[in-house]
Structure 1
């Protein structure tokens, strides 16, 4: 007879995009969670209010939120609950974002562009006491370690402060936008889902302070990003 697994509750899901909320709801339901065991929030303020009023066993946290960073939510949770399991589910794929999240108290980090099965595996790993790190970020860190002989200052100077505004993935997507590709065409070319592309573009708009594709391209070109 198989012993029933007791899932830690409640679960806080910090995510402002409705399509991603529905995706995470589906994944958590597949794991065995019931809707009334899940709390969804859209921003930092709502999340902190929830954390202040009740203990959280598991949190899935996005970093790019309308009123701030998910790092603030992670720090708040960790200041109140040392045993809470925290998995970052974000479109941000930089070493800096990973280190900031881990330093704040995150247990693991997975990119939104991963398929449902991979995100589910990351959550399961967290529940089993693991600390999953997205393979893409892990490879980037290992690559940087292997190239440690190259002076960091040269790399920073070559990239420039303007280019560092966007992640390498965001610059890649913006370049395809500049070529006239649609979100669907970009998704097919990069072998990711359409909502992943839309999520990246949303972050690009925020960082460049624009609301249109054409304006994003022209602004990026004026800043030397493209």
Structure 2
């Protein structure tokens, strides 16, 4: 059995205990919980987890700072932020810092574990509300007439297949679902995603989705 190490950072003790219990119910999850950034940073420095779940408002700083630090130092760590409903701005800031998605504080126990497994399988748990927020935030007040040369530059050399894969990532599809949907081998999907990252100059699925929406490469 593969052990998945999870670090949970949440300052509210009842919430921390509830989230910890929900995660620890999965026999493959090894969970360590922390109530502040200092303790979490020390633990991560000693041994980075596979998945980091961090609240945003913490007593000694902000979870977005921890997200950026961990993403820069340990890019293989999957990061989920813990949010409350109607907190789109904070979630988007965390995604820009390197998070791959988020869980809602009041989520059902089974949904918490499912979200962690989704991000480990290559999905980006981004709700329609977050996608709409991104579109509203990035939509200009007036739409200029399309410029073919500018449109070509905006695509950054992405192929039609890479655009399709980007759309699949944004929809939260697994690599297998993306491969089946566009008729390619599942083994080739990671290579396409590496190419997408290189062209968009990003390092995570969350950043890729953010950049794709901001450049209007995809619409959800």
| Pairwise same-fold verdict (TM > 0.5) | yes
Match runs of 1:126-145 below 5 Å = 126-142=119-135, 144=136
CA RMSD of aligned residues (A): 2.6
Cα offset, 1:149, TM superposition: 4.2
Question: CA 1:40/1:145 → structure 2, altered by over 3 Å: closer, same or farther?
Answer: closer
Match runs of 1:72-151 below 5 Å = 72-91=65-84, 93-142=86-135, 144=136, 149=141
- Return 5+ residue gaps in structure 1 as ranges: 151-226
Count of residue correspondences: 143
Provide the rounded CA distance (Å) in 1 between the counterparts of 2:138 and 2:44. 40
Task: Choose from 4, 7, 18 the match for 1:8.
Answer: 4
Provide the rounded CA distance (Å) in 2 between the counterparts of 1:122 and 1:58. 11
Q: Which residue of 2 aligns with 1:46?
A: 39
TM-score (norm: length of structure 1): 0.55
Runs of 4+ off more than 4 Å: 145-150
Question: CA 1:67/1:149 → structure 2, altered by over 3 Å: closer, same or farther?
Answer: same
Provide the rounded CA distance (Å) in 2 between the counterparts of 1:84 and 1:123. 12
Question: CA 1:114/1:55 → structure 2, altered by over 3 Å: closer, same or farther?
Answer: closer
Could you give the per-residue CA deviations for residues 69-122 of structure 1, whole angstroms, max 9, x where no partner exists?
Answer: 011211221122110011111226333212211121111112213333333321
Q: Secondary structure of 1:97's match?
A: helix
Greater RCO between the two (CA within 8 Å, min separation 6)? 2
Question: CA 1:146/1:71 → structure 2, altered by over 3 Å: closer, same or farther?
Answer: closer
Is 1:22 the counterpart of 2:6? The answer is: no
Cα offset, 1:140, TM superposition: 3.8
- Return 5+ residue gaps in structure 2 as ranges: 143-220
